[in-house]
């Protein structure tokens, strides 16, 4: 049976929501795509770009007829949105999200999901430092991973539908527990974002007369700090929702930095080179 949704509603038509809408269109997986969200400007642009067929600023009305509802707004507003839309979700509808945090957030959404509606927590590992619907592209998920974090309550059939959808978007679908998801992404995404923000913060303090230090940054510094151009609002929300794991990971990072600092203070060439070598080899194994 071919995957097809008569009505899809995307809540938050930005980079990720917009790209998923484009996949649904390109692959002819949806009859009609409705966009909703807080930003009227963003919705109008999405409509003008043909990413959505219909813009409905009122989320309650936007979800009424939807077979598939995708929460793609910043994770910080998932809870108020759920409070708003829950009574209006159609019986039999599938609800999913694309949030970078699972854990307690997924539980919150699950608890607010009415009986007869099937919630499948999801996280496509895609994105770039640029955001907004103008950046949306149907190829965004090609060759990426998409993680689903079902609980014991999650409907098996709904998991199968989401798996097919993300597979058609070009992603490899994996499942894991919400807790494991949040531990892993604290390490490989959330904490590195905090570290990049901190680096920009530390370096941009430095001004000496006419010369701003940052004017001398090369390609390495630009790569290192690229993720610091990400949305502060979105990252504030992610960090607070996954803060225990991020703090744990920060402490590991601070420990590693302090090990290197000690090598420098003691001038221990061999230790420093050994530490750098292990890190360098790990990085070269990545790509």
State the minimum distance, in angstroms, from the CB of residue 89 to a copy of itself: 29
Among 57, 114, 132, 192, binds a copy of itself (CB under 8 A): 192
Count the residues of the shown chain that bind a copy of itself, applying the rule CB under 8 A. Answer: 89
Stretch touching a copy of itself by CB under 8 A, among 9-17, 21-29, 152-160, 190-198: 190-198
On whether the CB atoms of residues 34 and 152 are closer than 8 A, the answer is no
Length of the chain: 287
Residue 229: strand, helix, or coil: helix
State the minimum distance, in angstroms, from the CB of residue 264 to a copy of itself: 5
| Interacting positions 259-278 with a copy of itself (CB under 8 A) | 259-261, 264-265, 267, 269, 272-273, 275-278
| Interacting positions 80-99 with a copy of itself (CB under 8 A) | none
Cα separation, 78 vs 65, in Å, equals 20
Cβ-count burial of 250 within 10 angstroms (0-12 exposed, 13-18 middle, 19+ buried)?
A: middle
State the minimum distance, in angstroms, from the CB of residue 285 to a copy of itself: 8
Cβ-count burial of 67 within 10 angstroms (0-12 exposed, 13-18 middle, 19+ buried)?
A: middle
| Interacting positions 124-163 with a copy of itself (CB under 8 A) | 125-129, 144-145, 147
State the minimum distance, in angstroms, from the CB of residue 30 to a copy of itself: 26
Maximum CA extent, the chain? 68
State the minimum distance, in angstroms, from the CB of residue 266 to a copy of itself: 10
Residue 202: strand, helix, or coil: helix
């Amino acid at each position: 049976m071919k995957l097809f949704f008569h009505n899809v509603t995307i809540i938050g038509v930005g980079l990720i929501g917009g790209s998923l809408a484009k996949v649904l269109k390109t692959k002819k997986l949806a009859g009609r795509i409705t966009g909703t969200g807080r930003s009227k400007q963003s919705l109008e642009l999405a409509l003008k770009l043909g990413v959505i067929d219909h813009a409905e600023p009122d989320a309650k009305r936007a979800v009424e007829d939807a077979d598939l509802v995708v929460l793609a707004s910043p994770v910080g507003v998932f809870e108020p949105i759920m409070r708003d839309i829950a009574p209006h979700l159609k019986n039999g509808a599938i609800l999913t999200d694309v949030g970078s945090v699972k854990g307690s957030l997924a539980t919150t959404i699950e608890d607010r999901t009415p009986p007869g509606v099937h919630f499948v927590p999801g996280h496509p590992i895609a994105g770039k430092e640029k955001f907004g619907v103008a950046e949306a592209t149907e190829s965004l998920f090609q060759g990426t991973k998409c993680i689903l974090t079902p609980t014991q309550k999650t409907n098996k059939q709904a998991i199968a539908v989401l798996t097919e959808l993300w597979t058609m978007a070009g992603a490899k679908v994996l499942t894991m527990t919400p807790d494991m998801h949040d531990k892993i992404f604290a390490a490989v995404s959330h904490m590195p974002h905090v570290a990049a923000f901190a680096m920009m913060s530390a370096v941009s303090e430095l001004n000496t007369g006419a010369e701003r230090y940052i004017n001398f940054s090369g390609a390495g510094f630009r790569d290192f700090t690229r993720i610091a151009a990400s949305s502060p609002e979105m990252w504030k929300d992610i960090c607070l929702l996954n803060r225990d794991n991020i703090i744990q990971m920060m402490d590991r990072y601070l420990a590693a930095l302090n090990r290197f600092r000690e090598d420098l203070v003691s001038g221990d060439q061999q230790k420093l080179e050994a530490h750098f070598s292990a890190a360098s080899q790990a990085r070269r194994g990545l790509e």
